[in-house]
Amino acid sequence: MPAETQNPSHFPVMLPQVLEGLRIRKDGGYLDGTLGRGGHARAVLERLGPEGRLLLMDKDPEAIVSAERLFGADARVAIRRGSFAALAEWDATRAGLDGVLFDLGVSSPQLDVAERGFSFRNDGPLDMRMDPTSGESAAQWLAHANAHDIADVLWTYGEEKLSRKIAAAIVMDRETAPFTRTSQLAEMIARVVGRGDSKIHPATRSFQAIRIFINRELEDLERGLAAAHERLKPGGRLVVISFHSLEDRIVKRFIAGHAKAPPGNRRMPAPEHFSPSLREIGGAQRADDAETALNPRSRSAVLRVAEKIGAPGAGAGA
């Protein structure tokens, strides 16, 4: 058995539901915007015939290297490093897509390799970028951001109740020594927040918040959903797995906004004729007990599926 299939945290999350949601046709064209270590991609590829096509994207250069190794020799596969927010700018998507998958958040290798700087458990440089070659690292941002902005990020993306206290401590402590290591930040937060009786590490919410901010995860999601919608052919499927409520809210609203007419309002002019362009398939789905017992990460997963509706020919690029 390959090493990566022995560790439950490396199982692709909600795989049967993803495959059912994508409703794969052997000759279809699919895009996995969050390739990671390729678990979902491999399963999609196994269901494609020789005429099928699989486009793979990830922001993370290491995911791209591993994809080249795993799938590079397969003529049905094309690989591109970049955010799924820009998927419609990739020429390969111009012909239109039969399915798009986003399995959001960070991958096991990103969390497990201390050097990537995502983990408060394993000490590493305070980085947190999915693409370490672009933008500011967490350390760079925390070195200059003001207390108000830091508190805002911790509250908005982490719902951290002690956001102001933590932000003030960061700004004060960095006068003596800049924050450069994950353990340094995690220990400081644990001191400020205290252990309490919670089972989760006191730095969990703050690390999540800083990661979401540094990687512009919610902005990318909004843009990625719009780009997927643009490129899906009629009958094509959008499948998104979210891991926290902020992401799921964006996905839910996006689907609803394209599936249902906005509710009427006596004080507003009547909306123009609404023509739905998505159909929601089922509601929010969650991992079953067997999966959550095996893979704790799947406990917070929420999967949503939508189908593009519209005139034939829509979805393919101009």
Ligand X SMILES: C[S@@+](CC[C@H](N)C(=O)[O-])C[C@H]1O[C@@H](n2cnc3c(N)ncnc32)[C@H](O)[C@@H]1O
DSSP E strands: which ranges in the chain? Answer: 29-32, 53-58, 77-81, 97-103, 232-242, 278-286, 302-308
Which tokens hold the place of 299? Answer: 């406990």
Query: Which residue among 28, 29, 38, 236 contacts ligand X (CB under 6 A)?
Result: 38
Q: Say whether residue 180 binds ligand X (CB under 6 A).
A: no
Query: Which residue among 40, 53, 252, 304 contacts ligand X (CB under 6 A)?
Result: 40
Of 37 and 308, CB closest to ligand X: 37
Q: Say whether residue 31 binds ligand X (CB under 6 A).
A: no
Torsion sign over Cα 296, 297, 298, 300? positive
Q: How far apart are the C-alpha atoms of 63 and 82, rounded to whole Å?
A: 11
Query: Which residue among 28, 36, 202, 236 contacts ligand X (CB under 6 A)?
Result: 36
Closest separation in Å from C-beta 280 to ligand X = 22
Residues of 49-63 as b/e, b for ≥16 C-beta within 10 angstroms? Answer: eeebbbbbbbbbebb
Closest separation in Å from C-beta 94 to ligand X = 19
**Binding segment (CB under 6 A) for ligand X, from list 66-74, 92-100, 105-113, 278-286:** 105-113
Residues in contact with ligand X, shown as a per-residue x/- string from 231 to 270 under the rule CB under 6 A: ----------------------------------------
Closest separation in Å from C-beta 307 to ligand X = 21
Query: Which residue among 29, 44, 55, 84 contacts ligand X (CB under 6 A)?
Result: 84
232-242 vs 302-308, strand pairing mode: antiparallel
Q: Say whether residue 127 binds ligand X (CB under 6 A).
A: no
Q: How far apart are the C-alpha atoms of 167 and 183, rounded to whole Å?
A: 17
Name every residue whose Cβ is closer than 8 Å to that of residue 194 and which is 6 or more positions away in sequence. Answer: 202
Q: How far apart are the C-alpha atoms of 238 and 250, rounded to whole Å?
A: 14
Site of interaction with ligand X (CB under 6 A): 12, 33-34, 36-40, 57-60, 63, 83-85, 103, 105-107, 130, 220, 224
